[in-house]
Amino acid sequence: MLRRTIPVLLVTYLASRAAWAANEPFVGEWKVNPSKSKLADQMKVESVAANRYAFEFGGGTSETIVPDGTDQPGIAGTTLSVTIVGPDSWKVVRKQEGRILVTAYWKLSKDGNTLTDDFTQFGPNGSSTNTKLVYHRATGTSGFAGTWETTSVTLDSVYVIKVQPYEDHGLSFINSSQGVTRNVTFDGKDHPLLGPNALPGSTSSARRVNERTLQITTRINDKVAGTQEDTLSSDGKTLTITVHAAGRATPNILVFERQ
């Protein structure tokens, strides 16, 4: 009797899981619509000593770097290097285990009040995502030291997220271009971010606000780095992700369309 019961229970379980996955509205492939998205960013550069600067790119954690072009310890097991290309130009590179994750070319305007950032993020397969940002000076008087806030952002690359079922009634958010997979369940449990570009010590937990709204919290080494709300439109064709980075008042709003 037991031998007959186990296959029946297994078939019932698999059928139930398949039915849930088929009815889960977040499952699918989503492509960002740049014209509908609103991206905001803030970064802080502080001169802390002779030829030493503290950089804060969000999450409330700063990295103190000598801008001599060498790889130096950064957040979450990464390295950061800053090269002074000229009096108004810097090159910033982040690596993980020797592999380049990000390059950014910064250039100041002649009056020193505008900073342009040609920012490229590299995926594990060599693919890249380029973003061009224009910041205005919020604090500081000269040079790169100060608080900088975006005035415009241009996405030059395709940004796609795939959402798949994960374990029992959980979800996987797979961002192949960034090389990061975010697995979540809705029991408050933290799950590590996976993939070659996932920062060591980074985790996500989630709760379902309602059928069409998720709230996800990201932590780095148990410290909250940000929260986001993932909201589906009533027709299920649009996914809006509103990201609140720790220490920043203005969220990023990414609008995706179902493919």
Count the neighbouring beta carbons within 10 Å of the beta carbon of residue 61.
Answer: 17
pLDDT in tens, 163-221: 999 998 899 999 877 789 999 999 989 999 999 888 889 999 999 999 999 999 999 88
Q: Is the pLDDT of residue 20 over 60?
A: no
**Residue 27's pLDDT band (cuts 50, 70, 90):** very high
pLDDT of residue 193: 96
Q: Give dist(CA 102, CA 95) in Å, integer.
A: 7
Give the predicted TM-score (pTM) of the model.
0.69
* Per-residue three-class SS string for 64-105: EECCECCCEECHHHCEEEEEEEECCEEEEEEEECCEEEEEEE
Residue type, 17: R
Domain with CATH 2.40.128.20 in the chain: 25-33+159-258
Residue type, 91: K
Edge-to-edge strands of the sheet including 128-139? 62-65, 52-56, 42-49, 146-155, 128-139, 114-122, 99-108, 89-96, 79-86, 72-73
The phi, psi pair for 50, rounded to 5°, reads: -60, 115
Mean pLDDT across 121-147: 89
The CATH superfamily of 25-33+159-258 is Calycin beta-barrel core domain (2.40.128.20)
